Structure 1
Amino acid sequence: MIGSPAPSPLLDSYPTPAMAGDITDTGELYSPFVGLIYMFNLIVGTGALTMPKAFANAGWLVSLILIIFLAFMSYMTTTFVVEAMAAANAQLRWKKWEKEEADSSENSDNESLSTDGYENSEIRPILSVQRRGLSDPYEIIERVEMGQMASLFFNKVGVNLFYFCIIVYLYGDLAIYATAVPLSLVQVTCFSGNESCGTQAGEKNDTDPCWGNIRRIDAYRIYLAVFTLFLGPFTFFNVQKTKYLQILTSLMRWIAFIIMIVMALIRIGEGKGEGKPPMADVSGIQNLFGVCVYSFMCQHSLPSLITPVSKKKHLTGLVLLDYILVLSFYSLLCFTAIFCFSSGSLMDMYTLNFSGCSPFVPVVIGYFLGLFPVFTISTNFPIIAVTLRNNWKTLFHREGGTYPWLVDRIVFPLITLVPPIIVALCTNHLEILVSITGSYAGNGIQYVIPAFLVFCSRKDSALVYGPDSRNKHRSPFKQVGWVWFVLFWAVSCFIYVTANIILTDGNL
């Protein structure tokens, strides 16, 4: 199978879901504490910048309840993926040992084989594992990416649906990236020094002038064209992020988040906060759901993140602590935002509320926050584009077959690049793009795929190692009822979001 670049824990909140077809080694190990930091850094990213506006629109009480519940659901499915990783390690380890046993049998003329079919198929592999002295076959030693887990536990239809879901999600990522960068540039370069922060920022619309007779929407499309010309060609090549670039973008992100939280707290403390959010507004729940699902997304990058942890004894507790920290950080960011700014002034991307503002925000900090998404997102766009291109190749790959040069180097890059650029050209409503991506593809990756992975892996492990085998990394939610609950929740959310879109757009 054709793989894609594995993500680094230092990547932005839109990690590259590596689809490696083979087991890969873990690389350099790190401590559980470092793993906790990496996982926190993986989850929290640019996607969180769309949360404040969604919070304000849904009401602070409804938003708080929903984000706590969605954090719990994301934690549950994360433990499902970790359990499936352990089961995948055990499955592949058993296959390796089985092959060694078969090779050993061929070389030994005096080896006696059992004539009982059940004993030969079920007992002998277990005994062979015990003879090799491995106390725990479920130890997560080698990295098995989600594409490989899908190949192990799903049938052909399931594998194709898995890759289809990943592809749709990556298309959504690219559309969000292609929208966020021009939007940020418009906000920074079209800002006139005579305007102030607050409500005026939210009242700007696409028809307002930017440069002379050029409207803001025209400037947005110009920046989108420039963005495409500069970063689009990377889709036709293989690109890798450097370690230092990852560290730089990660550092910029945290500086930006801290500045926004501190400045909002100062403004609220001075009694200048303008926000008076309602307790509840049902009409805003749809967007809030999609944004929160998108912002908690980490399941597809867990193998590359969890496997290198040196001591995995308290892995479940480590993951729980991370989710508590992420939930606390999101709550702090959103509550300071909705009480600092009025609902009408909150922008789709929260950094834009600080860009160019004076005297509330110093000019240098305003430009840094306004351009922050431009730098961080631009570095991730080529990586996600190459990942999507490689997943298209994987979906249509035939064993032993190769693609013609025109298809491999031209067609696949074009079908990767053109659709998200068209979407970005048609709409610049970032919150809606994030909401739809999270509500549909994010729903599948965060809920449906982990639920089926853990369900199928438990059945396969029981067949190979016996029903009494114990997976040390088994999810705390071990009852099958939790799996069905996750699937029921995913289907319910899909129906709710779809019905809401139809009723809203169709004016029914």
Structure 2
Amino acid sequence: MAGGITETGELYSPYVGMVYMFNLIVGTGALTMPKAFATAGWAVSLALISILSFMSYMTTTFVIEAMAAANAQLRWKRREQEEVNESDSMSDYSDDDVISRGRSDPVETRPILSVQSRGGTVDHFDIVERVEMGQMASMFFNKVGVNMFYICIIVYLYGDLAIYAAAVPMSLMEVACGNHSCSAGSVTYNDTDSCWGPVRRKDAYRIFLTIFTLLLGPFTFFNAQKTKYLQIMTSLLRWIAFSMMIILALIRIAKGHGEGHPPAADFRGVPNLFGVCVYSFMCQHSLPSLVTPISDKRHVGRLLLTDYTLILAFYGLLSFTAIFCFSGGALRDMYTLSFTSSCDVLDVPALRYFLGLFPVFTISTNFPIIAVTLRNNWKTLFHREGAGSSYPWVVDRVFFPLLTLAPPVAVAFGTHDLEALVGITGAYAGTGIQYVIPACLVYFGRRHVEPMVTGRDAVNKHGSPFTHTAWVVFVLVWSASCLIVVTANIVLNETND
């Protein structure tokens, strides 16, 4: 997640990049959104998701501007070092030699804010080197800011792992303990109901969670890397499942069998809705790996706006068809389980099994990746002061993996309330990653490159359209206000309960 500057890798077109970003954003959070919509009311949900979509788009442009600023600063420092080296090397020549070199040296005729590459002149603000968010934080923030960045990332990744660790066993429990034959009609189950004889449903959940931990947990002790073909497979499964759910819900509503009558507004559901929406628009932490390989970045801003518009429309379609198709009690935290619990909507056992197991296939492939990322962030947080020395084997191979794995698994053992897990993760750590960190990166990034462009005709061509500092202040005030309101609502709801 953090660290350093890496090679760009294989390039792809802007439209491929747009598809990658769409797939990155539309993930597990989308499956918890319908229940959050039904709880908060359709009017409040529509207004809030539209606002949060705009806010996420704004901070995405902030991160891209910060990436360009980081590239410019790296090139600027590299050029200064080259000039120092050239000055040292020329000091060995006579005055006549220096004058003759100065007349013909192409370095002296280069534009001050451009560098030469094999493909020609490259603007300092071109995003050609992948600078991860951790590296940008190290470049633009002080020591306290860097530590806060890593803590925020770590808390968010813990929440991510807890969500994944709960979602997979819960889906397996529903498949193993549910009624897939439709012989008894639609049935609503409780955690204390029997699954296999004396084994209750919550016992089955914990058994599956133990198996999940034993199978995927060991990957935390090693390195794991997602392959291109695995990405293609999970993306294909995702879109088959999402298309099925939307089409099935539309068919049921068109037939007049829709059972949903959601309220227009219920502000008690706003805290979870806010967290779910923030989590569902999360992509800022992955932008360096996603945007840098795009071959032509001239219209990245336009493609981002198109992506966010499509994603907002998709979330609205998925959630509105869900809340009018299912009654509030039939909507599950994980939307796919609403179809496995209702034979009236889908009476084909094979398809019910597919939707029930869909989160298992897609989430299980991501769990090791996120676990290794979290483990590496822990190492970076503790290791920056002692660079050059390595950890003892026990600390490196045992302590950090256990520190990564144990807390989210413990949380999953304690609860499988996915709506609450997604809401809390998105509302707190998600707010930091999606709003606070991008706003601080772009603000301090602008201050760092200001000496480079002062008095010169140079502009960051990847600059955010929200150029005024007032937008940065607005994002920070918005973040603080949302956290205060969410916390107050959670406390108030707990008090009323």
Q: TM-score, normalised by structure 2?
A: 0.92
Match of 1:298 among 283, 299, 305: 283
Change (3 A) 1:144 1:275: same
- Residue in structure 2 matching 1:376, options 359, 362, 381: 362
Determine the structure 1 residue equivalent to 2:479.
490
Alpha-carbon distance, 1:504 to partner: 2.6
| 1:450 has 2:438 as partner | yes
Among 466, 469, 489, the residue aligned to 1:500? 489
Shift of 1:251: 0.6
The residue correspondences of 1:246-257 to structure 2 (distance < 5 A) are 246-257=231-242
Distance across 1 between alignment mates of 2:468 and 2:129: 27
Offset at residue 317 of structure 1 (A): 0.7
Hey, what does 1:386 align to over in structure 2? 372
Deviates more, 1:231-240 or 1:358-367: 358-367
Q: Which whole-Å CA distance do the structure 2 matches of 1:97 and 1:36 have between them?
A: 33
- Matched residue type, 1:489: W
Return the offset for 1:332: 0.4
**8 Å Cα contact 1:357/1:366 also seen in 2:** no
8 A contact 1:188–1:356 mirrored in 2: no
Tell me which amino acid in the other structure corresponds to 1:481: A
Pairing of 1:178-217 with structure 2 (within 5 A): 178-192=165-179, 193=181, 194-197=183-186, 200-201=187-188, 204-217=189-202
2:351 is aligned to 365
Matched, 1:330 2:315: yes
Q: How many equivalent residue pairs?
A: 475
**Partner deviation per Cα, 1:95-148 (whole Å, 9 max, x = no partner):** 111110110111112689xxxxxxxxxxx9997546969573111111111111
CA spacing shift, 1:315–1:111, aligned 2, 3 Å: farther
Of 319, 340, 349, which residue of structure 2 is paired with 1:355? 340
Residues 460-501 of structure 1: CA deviation (Å, up to 9, x unaligned): 110233266311011000000000000001111111122222
RMSD in angstroms over aligned alpha carbons? 1.9
1:281 lines up with 2:266 in the alignment? yes
Distance 1:188 1:170 in 2: 27
Pair 1:99-2:84 in alignment: no
**Structure 2: which amino acid aligns with 1:99?**
Q
Q: Structure 1 residues 130, 275: closer, same or farther in 2, change over 3 A? A: closer
**Is the CA contact 1:290–1:439 (under 8 Å) kept in the aligned structure 2?**
yes
Distance 1:126 1:151 in 2: 29
CA positional deviation for 1:76: 0.2
1:430 is aligned to 418
Could you tell me whether the CA contact under 8 Å between 1:356 and 1:370 is conserved in 2?
A: no
Query: Whole-Å Cα distance in 2 between the matches of residues 130 and 87 of structure 1?
Result: 14
172, 182, 188: which is aligned to 2:159? 172
Which residue of the other structure, out of 269, 288, 293, is the alignment partner of 2:254?
269
3-state SS in 1 of match to 2:131: coil
State the alpha-carbon separation in 1 of the partners of residues 437 and 351 from structure 2: 41
- What residue ranges of structure 1 are gaps of 5+ in the alignment? 1-17, 113-123
Unpaired runs of at least 5, structure 2: 97-107
The aligned residue for residue 465 of structure 2 is: 476
Structure 2 letter corresponding to 1:402:
S
Task: Answer yes or no: is the 8 Å Cα contact 1:206–1:217 preserved in 2.
Answer: yes
Q: Which residue of 1 aligns with 2:100?
A: none
Partner of 1:315: 300
Q: Deviations 1:286-329 (Å, cap 9, x if unpaired)?
A: 10000000000000001111111111111111100000000000
Cα shift at 1:75: 0.2
> How far apart, in 1, do the equivalents of 2:129 and 2:468 lie?
27
Is contact 1:97–1:129 with CA below 8 Å preserved after alignment? no
What does residue range 120-199 of structure 1 map to in structure 2 within 5 Å?
128-129=112-113, 134=121, 136-192=123-179, 193=181, 194-197=183-186
For residues 104 and 442 of structure 1, do their structure 2 counterparts lie closer, same or farther at Cα, with a shift above 3 Å needed?
Answer: same
**Superimposed CA distance per residue, residues 312-358 of structure 1 (whole angstroms, 9 cap, x where no aligned partner):** 11111110000000000000000000000011110000000112643
The answer (yes or no) to whether the contact 2:268–2:493 under 8 Å persists in 1 is no
Task: Determine the C-alpha separation between the residues in 2 that align with 1:395 and 1:236.
Answer: 18
Partner SS state of residue 195, structure 2: strand
Shift of 1:45: 1.3
Contact 1:98 1:125 in 2 (8 A): no
Residues 17 and 294 of structure 2 are in contact (CA less than 8 Å); yes or no, is this contact kept in structure 1? yes
Separation in 2, partners of 1:344, 1:496: 27
Q: What is the distance in 2 between the residues matched to 1:130 and 1:34?
A: 28
Contact 1:105-1:111 within 8 A present in 2 as well? no
Per-residue deviation, 1:216: 1.1
Task: Confirm or deny: 8 A CA contact 2:115 2:122 kept in the other structure.
Answer: no
Matches within 5 A, 1:62-81: 62-81=44-63
Change in Cα spacing, 1:127 to 1:315, as seen in structure 2 (3 Å) is closer
- Which residue does the alignment assign to 2:37? 55
Q: Distance in 1 between matches of 2:203 and 2:375?
A: 30
Task: Supply the AA of the counterpart residue of 2:10.
Answer: E
1:396 equivalenced with 2:396 (yes/no) = no
Letter in 2 for 1:374: V
Distance 1:405 1:179 in 2: 31
CA contact under 8 A between 1:294 and 1:437: conserved in structure 2? yes
Shift in alpha-carbon separation, 1:346–1:45, aligned structure 2, 3 A: same
Q: 1:111 to 1:337 in 2, by over 3 A?
A: farther
- 1:210 is paired with a residue of what secondary structure? strand
Q: Which whole-Å deviations, capped at 9, do the CAs of 1:231-252 have from their partners, x for residues lacking one?
A: 1111111112222111111110
Distance 1:373 1:241, change over 3 A: same
Which 10-residue stretch deviates more, 34-43 or 475-484? Answer: 34-43
Aligned AA (2:377):
N
Query: Which of these residues, 382, 407, 416, is aligned with residue 419 of structure 1?
Result: 407
User: What is the rounded CA distance, in whole Å, between the counterparts of 1:389 and 1:130 in structure 2?
Assistant: 38
